[in-house]
Structure formats: C-alpha cells, structure tokens
A and B are shown apart, each in its own frame.
Chain A
C-alpha cells in the first residue's frame, strides 16, 4: 500500500479514507484504498478510465456504500451518512458530466445548491463574482448553456453549499482545452479561501499543475503517490498503466468512451517524456 497514511505531512487530515473497498455488483472497483487530504490542500487523483477514480469520489460523497473501510471528515466517521447529510457536514461533489438540473435556470441551480443551508462566504453574489458572465445570464435555463458554462455552474452549485471539502470529478471531460484552462484557473482562488480540494482528472498535466499531492489509481489500487515535483514522467507512466507491475494496461482502459484528454495508447495524456 503506497497511499499516504494519516498524519503524514504534519497537519491532521480533514478528509480521510482508510482501507476503502467498493463493489459494483460482482466487480470490485476499489481495493482497500487509503488516502488523507489535510485541510486547505489540493490533491489530485489520476488514472485511466475504469481505474476507480469516480467511484472513490462518489463513495466519499456517499453515493456508494463501501463493502469495507471508512470515510472520515475532520476525524468523525461519516461512512454511514446519507449523501444529503454529508453535504450538510461540508462535503460537496461536482459530479462527472456536470449533472445540472436542465429545466432550472442558472440561478435556481445555484439556489438548489444552497439547500443544505450551510452559511459561509459563498452566497450567490460571491459565485457571480467568481464567474462574472453568470450574473447576466442567471435567468437562462441550464440546458441552454455551453459545456464549459455548465461546468462553471456545476462548480458554483457545489460552492453554494459552502463546503469544507470540494470533490471535483473530471472537470475537463468533453471541454475544449482553452475552456479547461479557464475553469482550472479558478481553483487557486478556491484553495486560497481555505477549501480542501480532491480532484479526479484524466488530463495528467492539468492535475500536476494544480495539486500539491498526486495519487495514481490503477484497477482500484493506489499505485503511486507523492508531490508532483518528486515524481518523474516514467514513474507516472508506470503507475498509470501498470507497466512492469505485471498488470495488463489495457484492462484499465475499458468501459466508457473517452472525451477530450483521453489517454493515448503509449503514454498518459499530458506527460512529456
């Protein structure tokens, strides 16, 4: 197990998973995954399609129940808590594919995001200040927005719950590179406000650029973890595809179709060797 153990790096972890195993029916998606993110840190989870990244975030958000292991928020065990109660406790997930409420307006989407009534700096005004185009178009239906705009609203909707931990699932999926850069440019502002961020990303260069710690998942196991500066391209490549570990790299890339930033055959996207 190469996951970052609790307590490593000094600060107490705000969000911590220990020995987490998750099954989808017969298939085991996660094998005893452990990781901890200290308060205010940005951690990234990389890995190929089907590696279990989204399953991990969804389990932390409460949408999957683990078959073993635990999820802790600020030391409190929240493994049995329903998703909506976790939002109230301060965990917000921006789900893969954005999942806005298509028949609701932009503003209504944000208002629904504030359903948990958690208070903090992220009111509607603050969100409109972060994404300045949104104010003028707040009465438009979410379904009428472009993919990048929808992603921004999805982030805004999560921020509206004033989370302590923000989970971001594949922000770049299906978006043009220029749009992805614009979305990622907002993350430092969020981190600066003290928010703890765990993001899942297929685009490795994007993940390395924003994270203080990177975890690589392969077939449901963490195969590599460390600060981006300490990891070489070859190490990441090996961990991403399981080359040299006797594992079949193709097995990790089955399943869903790939959007922008999909893994190439020879190397993880964005890794320059």
Chain B
C-alpha cells in the first residue's frame, strides 16, 4: 500500500515539475533558446511573491495574480532585448547569456536577500489533507498544484492550436524566414512565447515556494535540473510529453524515496539516463509544438 502511495505522491509532484518544464520546452521549441536561468527565474518569482505578500497583505495564495503578469511582461522585454540580441549572434550565444544570467541572479539574491531558506507561508493550507484508507494521504495543496498544471497545459495547448497568435507562433517555430515572408514579425512572436514561458515559470516558482523551502541556489541546483529531466523524458516540444515527463519523474523520485530518503533525486536521474539511452527523443516522439 505504501508503494501505491508513493506513486500517487509522485503523480502529484509531477504536476509541479511539468509546470516548471513547460516554459523551458516552449522557449526551446519556438526560438531554440535553452534558458539556463529558468530555475533561477522561478526562485526570483518566489522571492517577489514574498515581497508582494509583505507589502500588499494579499493572501499568499493570491500573490500569483500580481507576480505572473509582471513576470510575463519581464519575459517579453527580456526576449526583445537581451535574448534577441544574443540570438542574432547565434544560438550558442544564448546558452552563454542565460548561463551568465543564472550566475548574476543567484549571486544578487545571496547578496541582497541572504542565503537563508525561505518559504511562502500559506498557514494550515500547506498541511491540510484528506485520507484514502489508512496509508494514503493527499494534501490539498499538492492536488491544487497538479490541477493548476493540467489547466495551464490545457490552456497553452488550446492557445497554440486554436488561436491566431498560437498559429503564428507555430509558424515561426517551423520556419522563421517563411513566417517573415507571410508578414509575421517573428521577434514579436518570440516575445509572446517568452512572456508565456516566464509567466508559467513564475507560477511554478510560487507553487514551489508554498510546497517547500527555497534559497538563492535552489534554482540552478534543483529546479532547472528537474525541468530539464521532465522535458527530456517527455520529449522536446510536446506539451503532453512534458506533463507525462513531469509525472514520470515525480513517480520515479517518490519510489526512490520509498527505498531510502537519500535516493529520491538519484532515482529521477536514473530514469532520465535510461530514457536518454533507450529513447532519446522522449516517450512522446512528436517533434512539433502542441
């Protein structure tokens, strides 16, 4: 029965990982940018949420209403300025620039906000739960985070497949030059994709801050890695693959933890390696977006 519980907890955790991963996947799929600062951005979002809660006295769970739009705007501006000028110099330059960004963010956080662990206090909500039988306990927070992840991925899927902007983003991802010849300013579409990616990573960062503790190094030490693993396991550029990858990663980690608490991260990485060796295209092999 404890194994069933491990799988259930893994699925719940997987929602959070998928939420982290979808922005990373989107930015790679559309503009071929591998954002190495992705995890740090999530941590920044969590810190900003703390600040917003302190200043506005907004209930902690609603802090995303402020932080997500701000992050989306920052994402658009950063794509149109820093990332676009890096892209103009070649795709590899973006790797260096986002790596540099990651270092800058981490050190700035340590400098100004100290290395102490923080978490977003949502009171008893963090531990409220219900039980199924005697062994399985499901926290409402975990369930809500999974639901949010599914809703975000569904919404993103619908946006990409059915809206005019989504269609233009897919066209740009397919062929940038042909998109220009169809009258699309691809830099603007890149900006929109970055805004979505930053918005979702902010949401993921806030959810993580409610779920557990974070500090300035959490982003590059854990979150970026989990997001990468979820994307690779699921298959690049596929949103459903990302959800599946996140859930598989979560389940692997929880099963590992069931053996020994120290094996949690290792189990996820073993799965990641096995997938890389046996099925490098990921468990879903569709190459296009959405």
Residues in B with CB closer than 8 Å to A93 are: 181
B184–A63 CB distance below 8 A: no
- In the complex, identify which listed stretch (B43-51, B149-157, B165-173, B209-217) lies at the interface while the others stay far away: B165-173
In the complex, what distance in Å separates the CA atom of A116 from the CA atom of B288? Answer: 24
Residues in A with CB closer than 8 Å to B178 are: 95, 99-101
In the complex, what distance in Å separates the CA atom of A115 from the CA atom of B184? Answer: 6
A112–B167 CB distance below 8 A: yes
Residues in B with CB closer than 8 Å to A63 are: 177, 180-181
Judged by a CB distance under 8 angstroms, whether A113 is at the interface is yes
Residues in B with CB closer than 8 Å to A77 are: none
A161–B174 CB distance below 8 A: no
Q: Digit string of A106-133 for contact with B (CB within 8 Å is 1, else 0)? A: 0011011101111000000000000000
- Minimal beta-carbon separation of A220 from chain B (angstroms): 22
Judged by a CB distance under 8 angstroms, whether A102 is at the interface is yes
- Decide if the interface of chain B is mainly helix, strand, loop or mixed: helix
Task: Given A99-B177, A99-B178, A100-B178, verify A87-B183 contact (CB < 8 Å).
Answer: yes
Judged by a CB distance under 8 angstroms, whether B61 is at the interface is no
**In the complex, residue of chain A having the shortest beta-carbon distance to the beta carbon of B186:** A84
Task: Given A108-B167, A115-B168, verify A101-B175 contact (CB < 8 Å).
Answer: yes
Residues in A with CB closer than 8 Å to B179 are: 101, 112
Residues in B with CB closer than 8 Å to A87 are: 180-183
Interface residues of A in 46-104 (CB under 8 A from B): 61-63, 82-84, 87-88, 92-93, 95, 99-104
Residues in B with CB closer than 8 Å to A99 are: 175, 177-178, 181
In the complex, what distance in Å separates the CA atom of A99 from the CA atom of B171? Answer: 11
Which of B164, B174, B177, B186 is A104 in contact with, Cβ under 8 Å?
Answer: B174
Residues in B with CB closer than 8 Å to A116 are: 182-183
Judged by a CB distance under 8 angstroms, whether B185 is at the interface is yes
Residues in A with CB closer than 8 Å to B183 are: 84, 87-88, 113, 115-118, 161
Judged by a CB distance under 8 angstroms, whether B19 is at the interface is no
- Minimal beta-carbon separation of B38 from chain A (angstroms): 24
B185–A84 CB distance below 8 A: yes
How many residues on chain A are close to B (CB under 8 Å)? 29
**In the complex, residue of chain B having the shortest beta-carbon distance to the beta carbon of A83:** B180
A104–B167 CB distance below 8 A: yes
B182–A157 CB distance below 8 A: yes
Residues in B with CB closer than 8 Å to A109 are: 171
- Minimal beta-carbon separation of B150 from chain A (angstroms): 24
- Minimal beta-carbon separation of B165 from chain A (angstroms): 10
B182–A115 CB distance below 8 A: yes
Task: Given A102-B174, A103-B289, verify A112-B181 contact (CB < 8 Å).
Answer: no
Give the interface centre of B167, B173, B179, B289 by most chain A CB atoms within 10 Å.
B167
In the complex, what distance in Å separates the CA atom of A82 from the CA atom of B184? Answer: 10
Residues in B with CB closer than 8 Å to A108 are: 167, 170-171
Which of A62, A82, A102, A113 is B182 in contact with, Cβ under 8 Å?
Answer: A113
In the complex, what distance in Å separates the CA atom of A247 from the CA atom of B287? Answer: 48
Give the interface centre of A92, A109, A115 by most chain B CB atoms within 10 Å.
A115
Residues in A with CB closer than 8 Å to B287 are: 103
Q: Which 7 A-B pairs rank lowest in CB-CB distance, beginning with the nearest?
A: A116-B183, A103-B288, A87-B183, A101-B174, A99-B178, A83-B180, A115-B183
A residues touching B (Cβ–Cβ < 8 Å)? 61-63, 82-84, 87-88, 92-93, 95, 99-104, 108-109, 111-113, 115-118, 157-158, 161
Sample (21) of A-B pairs whose CB atoms are under 8 Å apart: A63-B177, A82-B180, A83-B180, A84-B183, A84-B184, A84-B185, A87-B181, A99-B177, A99-B178, A99-B181, A100-B175, A101-B170, A101-B174, A103-B173, A103-B287, A108-B171, A112-B168, A112-B171, A113-B182, A157-B182, A161-B183
